[in-house]
Amino acid sequence: MPIERPLDVRNVIPRDRHTLIFNSFMALKPGEEFVLINDHDPRPLYYQFEAEHTGQFSWSYLEEGPEVWRVRIGRTAKQ
Under 8 Å between Cβ of 18 and 45: yes
pLDDT for position 73: 97
pLDDT for position 23: 97
pLDDT for position 17: 96
Q: What is the dihedral of CA 56, 41, 66, 33, to 10 degrees?
A: 20
CA 12-78-54 angle, to 5 degrees, is 75
Q: Identify the helix (H) or strand (E) that includes residue 79.
A: none
pLDDT tens digits, 2-58: 566 899 999 999 999 999 999 999 999 999 999 999 999 999 999 999 999 999 999
pLDDT tens digits, 63-79: 999 999 999 999 998 76
pLDDT for position 77: 80
